[in-house]
Amino acid sequence: MSTNENGYRKKDLHFATKAIHAGSEAEQWKSMAVVPPISLSTTFKQYGPADFEQYEYSRSGNPTRTCLQRCLASLDDAKYGLCYSSGLGATTAIVSLLSAGDHMLSVDDIYGGTGRLFRSVAQRFNISTTFAEGVDAEKFCQHLQPNTKLVWVESPTNPLLKVMDIPRIASLIKAYNKDIIFVVDNTFLTSYFQKPLALGADIVVYSATKYLNGHSDVVMGAVTTNNDGYYDRLKFLQNAMGIVPSPFDCYLVLRSLKTLKLRMEQHMKNSLAVAEFLESHPLVEKVMHPGLPSHPQHEVARRVWSGCSGMLSVYVRGGLDETKAFLSALKVITLAESLGGYESLADHPELMTHASVPADVRKQLGITSNLVRLSIGLESVEDLIRDLDQALQAGQKIKKS
């Protein structure tokens, strides 16, 4: 396997070209529009009953959505792409491939809302889930059962940035039962830094709300796959369950993809600079960034990924009071949920994004009161470092009540 200049897996050399051209060919429009039009019409004229061109009703299919779906498929070198009303909408469609009595195996350290959907919704339809630590692929796959129909992996994990050996997990799953659907949530890395289908996954899922859109102004989900059967069923569910995005949002995400490569490169640079700064800071206990040589799965990341995103997590020195004071003292970085936008965001997983995770599970995972997740944006990195430094100092000055 060849590596790129940073020692990571070789990058997709055609990525930017595909992001700019795939799905946007001018020849598909009578007007020869270079930028795909936003097709707001909910319905499409028929020549005679049930005799129509490509589209009939905008939930079932929409021209702007098709452009985006084709572009997303191309970025993953996939046959098919599908967009949903949100990342969790995409997850809902995937879980709906299963039936009552089926079992799912999931990595334990996953997006809070995904865990909530598995625990509180799927469970009610008698689809059970085992949550297990996924860093050790062999141990993880020991939880496979005869009725396991789907394996769910998020890598890196959220919020602890653990790295999964996706090729290894894929081969263990397929050796156990080749009909198990292997799903990878690739939201944190995007197809620019990780290509799960090439690594053995059957379905890739995205919260396009994050890096794919990258401008924090659209909520959307997406799926890519090479499997004809899964595609047919997921397309059916997109329409049958009504989990579709608006044409305007499709236009915005398609527009955002044009700069995905540039954004991801800069997110990586900025987040590494911040991570290195924080790692040497006396008021920080520990930094988790897969691009740091100190990260326990740094070598796995280099082998499986082409680079890292803007995500890192830190344990700051002190407890809840110091951590809250630190977060409130940030001036450039915004305290808000979500990630992957051009602006830097800070999150307190225990009280914010992962509040729906049961307290004992949070404790076991290491989601403690002094854990902070950072989504490093595209600002001048010197300003981010200065902001973190002053907020850390301010955090230590609080008087405990």
Ligand X SMILES: *Cc1c(COP(=O)(O)O)cnc(C)c1O
Where on the chain is the footprint of ligand X (CB under 6 A)?
86-88, 111, 113-114, 154, 158, 185, 187-188, 207, 209-210, 219, 221
373 in catalytic set: no
Whose Cβ is closer to ligand X: residue 254's or residue 325's? 254
Measure the CA–CA gap between 253 and 247, rounded to whole angstroms: 10
CB neighbours of residue 65 within 10 Å: 26
Whose Cβ is closer to ligand X: residue 20's or residue 160's? 160
Whose Cβ is closer to ligand X: residue 128's or residue 187's? 187
111 in catalytic set: yes
> Quick check: 73 and 80 in contact, CB under 8 A?
yes
Measure the CA–CA gap between 239 and 61, rounded to whole angstroms: 8
302 in catalytic set: no
Distances (CA, A) of 235 to 59, 99, 117, 315: 11, 17, 20, 42
76 in catalytic set: no
Q: Which residues have CB under 8 Å from 225's CB, separation 6+?
A: 78, 79, 80, 197, 202, 203, 204, 231, 234
Q: How far is the CB of 319 from ligand X (least distance, A)?
A: 26
Whose Cβ is closer to ligand X: residue 86's or residue 96's? 86
Q: How far is the CB of 84 from ligand X (least distance, A)?
A: 9
The closest residue (CB) to ligand X is 87
Measure the CA–CA gap between 60 and 363, rounded to whole angstroms: 44
Spot the catalytic one: 11, 59, 258, 286: 59
Spot the catalytic one: 18, 149, 210, 362: 210
Q: How far is the CB of 214 from ligand X (least distance, A)?
A: 13
Spot the catalytic one: 12, 185, 202, 249: 185
Spot the catalytic one: 111, 192, 230, 251: 111
Tokens of 311: 């995500």
Measure the CA–CA gap between 304 and 319, rounded to whole angstroms: 35
Residue whose tokens read 């020849």: 27
Whose Cβ is closer to ligand X: residue 285's or residue 337's? 337
Q: How far is the CB of 218 from ligand X (least distance, A)?
A: 9
* Residues classed as catalytic: 59, 111, 185, 210
